[in-house]
Structure 1
Amino acid sequence: MKRFMICSILSLLTYTSCTAKNKKHSELITHKEKTHEIHTTKTDPNTRHIQVALLLDTSNSMDGLIDQAKAQLWEIVNELSYAKCEHNRIKLQIALYEYGNDGLPSREGFVRQVLPFSEDLDEISKELFALTTNGGNEYCGKVINTSINQLDWKKNNDHLKLIFIAGNEPFTQGPVNYTDAATDALEKDITINTIFCGNYRQGIDTMWKHGADITHGEYSAIDHNQQTVHIVTPYDDIILQLNNQLNDTYIYYGNRGAQKRELQREQDSNARGYSAANAVSRTISKSSTFYNNKSWDLIDASEDESFEVEEVAKEELPAALREKSKAELKQYIAEKSKKRKNIQQKIRDLNEKRVGYIKNHSKKEDTNLEAALLNAIKKQGQKKAFTWEK
């Protein structure tokens, strides 16, 4: 019996010691995870974000809306690229949701996050062009609530945080009351802008305006079936030629580099599928600071002070560059970088003339998705010291 008691005491002491060690190890891991989380989520105090969550109705009647979004994406990006906010750097993040589509899970309220906040314009274009319509139930309160809870919204109120929801069914439908969702947005300094696809008065009667009013956002009514008119200018052909030269300056790297390089070409093709003028708009976007591909392009990556080209494995480079020495590779990147900057400047110079030409040849003020988005963004941006200068 005495021997049994001694063994039990020893076992208990051993267990207690191990538990203490495991607890200490667990606390150490947790501390490291928290430290890593703080480090990775730290925001540059000299950066201001424009965060735009697009919530698009993809039910049967919304083919025109989706078509406008595809056709007008690059002009919207171009206009936003002119944003200034005192001495701060501006970053654009776009998230995309679809709702009201029978192909979406009913348990999720017929809502799907297509893309979380992203600065990757090619990915945004890819997902936008992949959207299709199907009949369904349009739950506005539900999709607003989902986007508020799922997205990584900036905590600081100096950033411009906007939701744009577009559709044509009553704003009151679904399991989540839109007033509750909007009140939550207001508390988080997120502004809701509503875009009713149809008659202005009908949108008011079905509470689309009230949904925007709660957060002091903008209500707009658009003709979602209006075809996007691209004005052809004398500068378009030259800009498209420069786009081909621009593409030749990209040097992919990493596991997904070649794939992302191909995605760039696919989105060029999607833009050309609408019109040459739309492809021109995309080329303008590719000359802006918003179009940054540091995750797969060595030139953009090299602009980041923390990036070391020496750390890129040879097998992650294009075959033609694998035998270059580190010094030769750096020289090659520097030459391509200089070439790209020259091409982008030429594109921006031509775009100034293009914008002037379009302004002089525009017949009327559009009532489309682009106009609704830009009007609201600029108006709300002014409240946070954002200005737009070309």
Structure 2
Amino acid sequence: MGKLYFFNPDNDLALAAGNGERYTPPAAALDLRRAGALLPLWWCDEGNEVLVETDEAVEVADSLKSTFGISGTAVRKSEASNHAAPWGWSPLSARLMREGGAAMVPAPDEIERLRMLSHRRTSMPLARAMGAEESIVARECFSETEAEAAIAAAGGDAIIKQPWSSSGRGVMGTRSMRADALRCAIAGTIRRQGSIMVERRLEREADFAALFVSDGRRVRFEGASVFVTLPSGAYAGNIVDSGDRLMERIPVDISAAIKGAEEYLTEAVAPHYRGYMGIDMLAYRKGGRLMLDPCVELNLRMTMGVAAMLLARRGLRGVLRVKPSEPSAGELNLSPIPGARFSIVVSDGEVPA
């Protein structure tokens, strides 16, 4: 039996909403979902399918397959009873996969378990298992007083995070926030999501991730992802290159952290989840030494880093980016849906130094 893939990058928003399978993502998130609908075609095996929402996407998929020799088929509804393989699991994605004809969709109690495993508190014991210094492990705070104390313990220079959030949203640095805005952000997050995460801000030098896959019994390391960032530190893309060359770009040793992650995730996650996941990491300066933060967060879903790894295995090289515009010259549009507000591209062979 094959797989039925579905690109739903709005999944973290659905988890944060917590209002079940009838959640409606914001317009921009829906636009990105439609624009990237065909991205999973690039790692389809023969017999696999990609669930899409328009007949136009089916037609574009046929063109991609003939031009690039891609396997797999785009469908509005599967008749093959393929196993569900969305970008991420939530009550919303479970409903959409069932309606799309997928088999092996998790039951509601299993989806809720995955939602709780996707909470940022999972990163706390995981970070310890990966060897993180206790001073950089996040704290989960359930009141404004507790959060303010955690921020003070970090010298007032902390990062606050919503327990469920997406693509950098819901992550704020306290150093540049006015006191009233900070209190409002803390209170609002606790009111909506029950708690807030607080961690010490680090002098980051490099951003990267370790990528893993679960087969339902064991979690194993699959490769690394290296991020492209703007001068502000904001995420701008993932390098698409061979695994060996990506590992050479990481300036600290992550081998012990990988082993700790495999052991912890096999115990805590593998019985409940099959599929890819990524652990964001960073290298930071402390007293002139380069140190590793082994677990900034766990993404219990497909990630753009995993996508970059799978694209590299198809022989692509460059930078994988999401753009709010048409592709530029020299960029390959991986999901060329006409009229889309976004484009998901790989720069043609251009790997940053």
Which TM-score band applies after superposition, normalised by the shorter structure? under 0.3
Query: Normalised by the size of structure 1, how large is the TM-score?
Result: 0.22
Counting helix residues as a fraction of each chain, which structure ranks higher?
A: 1
* Structure possessing the higher radius of gyration over alpha carbons: 1
